[in-house]
């Protein structure tokens, strides 16, 4: 991130292109593996097919729409006339719910991919409410609040917000499922980054007196969401235990 200090937006755009290329490589690899595995390992083939579906729908179509509907989203945000930190958190949460709906649908499509959801899955459950209230979005909300706090104080551009939250998401996947998930950074960069890109892009520049972020603020932005999540522990644990659960709890994706 050496270019960020001297030219933040130019450095962020360069990194975005690099990770877009890595994401394309992840997609090509998933397609190749799904074809190469064939009928030899239905479970692994189904998981790769689920990843392909998630990348096509959320990163491909979702990323395209996020880029081309920025002006419309910005206009809608202005018309809602809500405090922008609140609107930011709500919008991020809605986008996270959409992403998890796609991911949970992929898990439920396991039979169409030649396996079953007990063996092949990319979400913690086949139950959408169980997933979002017990394993994913409920933990993302404090992270979105952390970013609302950061954006009130530092003038991060929307591409940097995408990349930084993408790094946070990649670290979270590695902490839950193992360090090997660093190889999927192209996937996780956009799975998580697209949750915050549009809301960050819609923040009006005038109402906030934000400072220009320095290098240490970029580093802080990667890890501060974890602190907010930890500090929100008691209510999150309560919601986790009260969520509508099923007997088919699988594993976090």
The pLDDT tens digits of the residues spanning 181-226 come to 899 999 999 999 999 999 999 988 755 678 889 999 999 999 999 9
The distance from CA 126 to its chain's CA centroid, rounded to whole angstroms, is 19
Please indicate, yes or no, if residue 200 is contained in any of the structural domains: yes
- Please indicate, yes or no, if residue 134 is contained in any of the structural domains: yes
Is residue 248 assigned to a domain?
no
Tell me, what DSSP letter sits at residue 244?
A: -
**pLDDT digit of tens for each residue in the chain (253 aa)?**
444 444 667 888 999 999 999 999 999 999 999 999 988 899 999 999 999 999 999 999 999 999 999 999 999 988 988 899 999 999 999 999 999 999 999 999 999 999 998 999 999 889 999 899 888 999 999 999 999 999 999 999 999 999 999 999 999 999 988 888 899 999 999 999 999 999 999 988 755 678 889 999 999 999 999 999 999 877 777 776 666 665 455 554 4
Residue 169 contacts residue 181 (beta carbons within 8 Å): no
CA–CA separation, 164 vs 171, rounded Å? 11
The CA-atom distances, in angstroms, between 229 and each of 43, 147, 235 are 33, 12, 10
Answer whether residue 231 is part of any domain: yes
On whether the CB atoms of residues 64 and 15 are closer than 8 A, the answer is no
Domain range enclosing 183: 8-242
Domain-embedded: residue 147: yes
Between the alpha carbon of residue 81 and those of residues 74, 88, 152, 192, 204, the distances in Å are 12, 12, 17, 26, 11
The answer for 147, left when phi > 0, alpha when psi is -120 to 50, beta otherwise, is alpha
| 189: in domain | yes
Structural domains counted in the chain: 1
Q: How far apart are CA 111 and CA 241, in angstroms?
A: 29
pLDDT tens sequence across 155-172: 999 999 999 999 999 999
Residue 2 covered by a domain: no
The string of DSSP codes covering 138-169 is: HHHHHHHHHHHHHHHHB---HHHHHHHHHHHH
Phi-psi region of 44 (alpha: psi -120 to 50; beta: other; left: phi over 0): alpha
């Amino acid at each position: 991130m050496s270019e960020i200090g001297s030219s933040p937006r130019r450095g962020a755009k360069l990194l975005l292109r690099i990770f877009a290329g890595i994401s394309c490589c992840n997609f090509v690899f998933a397609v190749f593996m799904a074809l190469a595995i064939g009928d030899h390992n239905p479970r692994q083939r189904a998981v790769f097919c689920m990843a392909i579906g998630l990348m096509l729908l959320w990163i491909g179509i979702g990323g395209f729409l996020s880029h081309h509907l920025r002006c419309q989203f910005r206009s809608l945000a202005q018309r809602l006339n809500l405090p922008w930190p609140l609107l930011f958190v709500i919008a991020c949460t809605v986008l996270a719910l959409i992403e998890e709906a796609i991911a949970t649908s992929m898990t439920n499509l396991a039979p169409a991919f030649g396996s079953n959801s007990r063996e092949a899955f990319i979400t913690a459950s086949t139950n959408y409410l169980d997933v979002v209230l017990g394993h994913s979005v409920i933990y993302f909300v404090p992270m979105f609040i952390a970013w609302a706090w950061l954006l009130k104080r530092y003038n991060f551009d929307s591409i940097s917000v995408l990349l930084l939250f993408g790094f946070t998401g990649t670290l979270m996947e590695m902490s839950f499922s193992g360090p090997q998930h660093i190889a999927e950074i192209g996937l996780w960069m956009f799975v998580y980054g697209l949750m915050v890109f549009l809301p960050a892009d819609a923040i009006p520049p005038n109402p906030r007196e934000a400072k220009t972020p320095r290098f240490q603020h970029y580093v802080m932005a990667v890890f501060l969401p974890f602190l907010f999540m930890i500090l929100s522990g008691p209510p999150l644990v309560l919601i986790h235990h009260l969520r509508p659960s099923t007997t088919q709890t699988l594993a976090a994706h």
